[in-house]
Chain A
Amino acid sequence: MAAIECRSLRRDYVRGEETIHTLQDVDLDIESGSFVALMGPSGSGKTTLLNLLAGIDRPTAGSIRIDGREVAGLGRSALAAWRSSTVGYVFQLYNLVPVLTAYENVELPLLLHPLKAAERHARVAEALEMVGLADRHRHYPRQLSGGQEQRVAIARAIVTQPRLLLADEPTGDLDRAAAAQVMDLLARLNRERGQTIVMVTHDPSTAARAARTVQLDKGKIVDAVVHGSVA
């Protein structure tokens, strides 16, 4: 069964008297445990599609079923609870909270879960260990490099052990070496933890690390390429 099923997905934005059709009748299936890259020029609807999959935006029409559950119709609170348990999101610009340390940033999503302090601590420590930043847990975002910040953001996204990891240009603001580290980390998460990963990217070499690339243009899926196993 597909982990993600999108049917006739549409997202329109109204600006003044103009309606912008950002996504038009998108049908997309993503298998559980796969690693998919969304590519396309600016304005093609990649990030909009990712936001819809994450439940942080709502479609104008169509359906999104994730693990068999219709997400598009969930109420606000139910959607928030679903995001908390199912989705991890990695942003291009990291979006760490500046007044919190790396440890505290990673801990944030866990505050919503009924965990004891010791278990919360163990989960944060494990996530930071996973991204190779256990020794930087007391550092504030301003004290970290861009690559380290992004790895903390990944730790924050995986600390709740979500089934779905969504990444919006996770290497877009990084140099080549840091980008390679981040991509290695995502590939490892997909391989070792079996997490379904959907990643938006502009960079063909980054997209090539995924098992499959979905090409969007003007709000429509125009092509899909299967690369084989995750590199």
Chain B
Amino acid sequence: MNPVLRPLPFTWRNLARRPLRTGLTVAGIAVATFLFVFVESMREGVRRATEAGAAETELVVYRRNRFCPFASQLPQSYERSIESVPGVRSAVPVKIVVNNCRASLDVVTFRGIPEGHYLARHLEGVRMRSGSLDEWQTRGDAVLVGAGLADRRRLRAGDRFDAAGVRAWVAGVFESDDPQDANSAYAHLAFLQETAQRGGTGGIVTQFNVQVDDPRRIEEVAMAIDERFASDQFPTSTRPASAFVARAARDVVVLVSFAGIVGWASLVAVFALIANSIALAVRDRVRDHAVLRTLGWTELGIAWIVVLEATLLGLAGGALGACGAFVALRAAHLTFGMEGVSIEVAADPALAVVGLALATVLGAVAGAVPAWGAAHREIVQGFRTA
């Protein structure tokens, strides 16, 4: 038998035939790994939503010193002035209505945008899962729902739903990689302006989404826009989209950063659990190891038995926890919403693989010290100790 695989039957039987100890240890590792993957998924979601890429070309024009969509009111007529600023390619007026302005895991965000080329421009590149854009064009109360929101609320084309005082009809469901799109319902601007009870009505929008020609000039364009309206009745605050999300979600960003400590602490828990379990197992099996050595197993063989057991525990618990976290996140479509922006908890298989790999490696490392002790105990001393 291959020397590396030689202890596998023995190790497997040791694990399988001590189901309580194995079960409890694996469950503990699984919970800790689940927590790690979950927290890292939150951090990854925040990173994706708030980190500016070198090619970022989108600006968000908001009302200065306003932080909630209900309070940010800008005249729709600003559109032409913004488009006349050098470096601006296009500007889309957007009215945002949310059911909850504070941080929440189930925020419904309506984004009202004008029909026609505005819609085509704003939803460029999205993939329709069901329904169609044509259906949206033909009905005033129609909304196009992002897949994240649709899955969370179990919405399909043809459904009606109520949120934030708006009763809308689902014309279609679309998929988008942008969490802001994936967790929003796009409505006709006029419909939202008439229907929404708060945040201003006709002729008033919440923000402008502006595309610039050159990503290198994005800050310069933002300053030019704000300068244009600085002495106006409705002064603006313009930021790159990622910075806008980071500012709006600052509380969540801080919270999630803090949660990162919990994530890494859970890895320490994985290590401690395996180390404790293996240390106890080695102590209980001093006689067994002495017997194996008497039968001809080498010190390295004994060490490998112990490390293999610890690694298998880490692998099993890690697989359970990482897969569990991935499946749960995939199914739940969790999104932090606050002040009209969304941060999606990333259900990324790469994070599950990282969680699994870390749990497995930590298992091996946690088994190393007990393995050293087990391997280097003299055989006769082993029988005396037992």
Seen from chain A, the residues whose Cβ lies within 8 Å of a Cβ on chain B are 51, 54, 56-57, 76-77, 80-81, 83-85, 89, 91, 95, 97, 99-100, 104, 108-109, 111-112, 114, 156
Knowing A100-B13, A108-B10, A111-B6 are in contact, say whether A56-B295 is a contact too (CB < 8 A): no
**Can you list, as one digit per residue, whether each of B247-262 has a CB less than 8 Å from chain A (1) or not (0)?**
0000000000000000
- Chain A residues with CB under 8 Å of B300's CB are 77
30 CB contacts below 8 A, A to B, read A51-B380, A54-B294, A56-B293, A56-B379, A57-B378, A57-B380, A76-B298, A77-B298, A80-B293, A80-B296, A80-B301, A81-B298, A83-B294, A83-B295, A85-B296, A89-B295, A91-B291, A91-B383, A95-B290, A99-B13, A99-B14, A99-B17, A99-B18, A100-B10, A108-B295, A111-B1, A111-B10, A112-B6, A112-B301, A156-B295
- Chain A residues with CB under 8 Å of B294's CB are 54, 56, 83, 89
Seen from chain B, the residues whose Cβ lies within 8 Å of a Cβ on chain A are 1, 6-7, 9-10, 13-14, 17-18, 287-288, 290-301, 378-380, 383
- Chain A residues with CB under 8 Å of B299's CB are 76-77, 80
Query: In the bound complex, how far is the Cα of B18 from the Cα of A155, in angstroms?
Result: 25
Query: In the bound complex, how far is the Cα of B6 from the Cα of A57, in angstroms?
Result: 25
- Chain B residues with CB under 8 Å of A91's CB are 291, 383
Question: Is the beta-carbon distance between A84 and B287 smaller than 8 angstroms?
Answer: no
Question: Is the beta-carbon distance between B296 and A109 smaller than 8 angstroms?
Answer: yes
Query: In the bound complex, how far is the Cα of B340 from the Cα of A231, in angstroms?
Result: 95
- Chain A residues with CB under 8 Å of B291's CB are 91, 95, 97
- Chain B residues with CB under 8 Å of A100's CB are 10, 13
Knowing A97-B288, A111-B9 are in contact, say whether A56-B380 is a contact too (CB < 8 A): yes
For residue B106, give the distance in angstroms from its CB to the closest CB of chain A. Answer: 49
Query: In the bound complex, how far is the Cα of B98 from the Cα of A67, in angstroms?
Result: 89
- Chain B residues with CB under 8 Å of A57's CB are 378-380
Across the interface, name the chain B residue whose C-beta is closest to A117: B1
Across the interface, name the chain B residue whose C-beta is closest to A109: B295
* Given A57-B378, A81-B296, A108-B292, 6 more pairs with CB closer than 8 A: A77-B299, A80-B293, A81-B298, A83-B296, A112-B6, A156-B295
Across the interface, name the chain A residue whose C-beta is closest to B5: A111
Question: Is the beta-carbon distance between B18 and A112 smaller than 8 angstroms?
Answer: no
For residue B102, give the distance in angstroms from its CB to the closest CB of chain A. Answer: 55
- Chain A residues with CB under 8 Å of B290's CB are 95
- Chain A residues with CB under 8 Å of B297's CB are 80, 84, 112
Query: In the bound complex, how far is the Cα of B299 from the Cα of A56, in angstroms?
Result: 12
- Chain A residues with CB under 8 Å of B13's CB are 99-100, 104
- Chain A residues with CB under 8 Å of B6's CB are 111-112
- Chain A residues with CB under 8 Å of B292's CB are 108
Query: In the bound complex, how far is the Cα of B297 from the Cα of A47, in angstroms?
Result: 21
Query: In the bound complex, how far is the Cα of B296 from the Cα of A51, in angstroms?
Result: 14
- Chain A residues with CB under 8 Å of B296's CB are 80-81, 83-85, 109, 112
Across the interface, name the chain A residue whose C-beta is closest to B302: A80
Query: In the bound complex, how far is the Cα of B4 from the Cα of A111, in angstroms?
Result: 12
- Chain B residues with CB under 8 Å of A56's CB are 293-294, 379-380
Query: In the bound complex, how far is the Cα of B291 from the Cα of A84, in angstroms?
Result: 12
